[in-house]
Amino acid sequence: MPQAIVIRELGGPEVLKLEGTTLSPPGPGEVQIRQVAIGVNFIDVYFRTGLYKSAAGLPFIPGKEGAGIVTAVGAGVLNVSVGDRVAYATSDGAYASERNVEASQLIVVPDDVPLETAAAMMLKGMTAQYLLNQTYKVGPGTTLLFHAAAGGVGLIAGQWAKALGATVIGTAGSPEKIALALDHGYDHVIDYRNDDFVARVEEITGGRRVDVVYDSVGKDTFPASLDCLKPRGLFVTFGNSSGPVEGVNLGILAQKGSLYVTRPTLYSYTASRAALEACANSLFDVVRSNKVRININQTYALADAPQAHKDLEERKTSGTTLLIP
């Protein structure tokens, strides 16, 4: 019998319950897959706690990222076939051993990319892709600050930004995570627990500050992140691991140098099939070129999803975390 993690009430990691499920044949436009690995991301915590609302209401199966083998296809599906190795990054309901998924959300995984690697990189890697190549065009001459440098997105982004020719500054919260980030493209990594990251950015850049700040932390790093930017610099807030930024007076952007701010999402950058394929193919290309390596630093059984969430929230993890059905 297929199994899934089901959330019947919002709350802490303990609300993640493993249950047996029934799975109907795939409907029109759907594909059924046997999952090999499932990505764990901080957005899953937001849905579990209710910070973000599940479109399905309660109960629901969390998770957005996974990879597996196609076992059945519904009517009208043309882009994948039974036996294909596939992955996805924006389809709700990933925490399951088997599932139905919209075929339009699936990407066929190249033969030389392991499915575990695909599950580990689709959401985080495509997030890095749009942040560095679309939200702000990073290249030679760019100096950037990336918070949570040793996280899943951060480790990919550090390598990718360095390959694009940027000067890459990061923040991390322990000697081990600092060393990890330095080994993944970062030129400088600031210990945010013990150092004033604004002062360190000023020191590192000789007072010039950075062109763009990428921030998935939220409450704990705002508004100090704005003080790291050059006049007319861009603040990219794409997550809230410490809590959401609230009560912002937009006049602060004028006071700190006519700054820009954006709150992007992967969905907006992959809303069309062409955009999804372009983003995914760009990611596959940079990984297959060995310019970016994907770190699977933690794996848990599907039944141990509560512990995976606990470790993630307590910042005990680095790189990518997978659930294995």
User: pLDDT band at 11, cuts 50/70/90?
Assistant: very high
Task: Give the residue-averaged pLDDT of 188-213.
Answer: 97
Domain 136-263 has CATH 3.40.605.10: no
What's the gap between Cα 201 and its chain centre?
Answer: 25
The whole-number pLDDT of residue 105 equals 95
For 71-107, write each residue's pLDDT tens digit: 999 999 999 999 999 999 989 999 999 999 999 999 9
Report, as an integer, the average pLDDT of 312-325.
91
In this model, does residue 319 exceed pLDDT 90?
Answer: no
Q: What is the pLDDT of residues 240-274, one digit of tens each?
A: 888 888 888 999 999 999 999 999 999 999 999 99
Q: Do you know the residue count of the chain?
A: 325
pLDDT at 315: 86
Per-residue model confidence (pLDDT) at position 86: 98
Q: Where are the domains of the chain?
A: 3-122+272-323, 136-263
Nearest to 298 by CA among 282, 280, 320, 279: 320
Higher pLDDT, 1 or 131: 131
> Whole-number mean pLDDT of the chain?
95
The pLDDT confidence band at residue 278, using thresholds 50, 70 and 90, is very high
pLDDT at 229 over 90: yes
- How much is the pLDDT for 246? 85
Structural tokens at position 277? 């394929």
pLDDT band for 291, please (50, 70, 90 cuts): very high
Which two structure tokens, joined as six digits, stand for 280?
Answer: 């995914």
Choices 3.90.180.10, 3.20.20.450, 3.30.360.10, 3.30.365.10: CATH for 3-122+272-323 = 3.90.180.10
pLDDT in tens, 13-67: 999 999 999 999 999 999 999 999 999 998 999 999 998 999 999 999 999 999 9
* Closest to 285 in 3D by CA, of 129, 91, 77: 129
In this predicted structure, the answer to whether residue 318 has a pLDDT above a threshold of 90 is no
pLDDT of residue 38: 98
Q: What is the pLDDT of residue 17?
A: 98
pLDDT band at residue 218 using 50, 70 and 90 as cut-offs: confident
Which residues fall within 8 angstroms of residue 194, CB to CB, at 6 or more apart?
A: none
In this predicted structure, what is the pLDDT of residue 120? 95
pLDDT score at 76 = 96
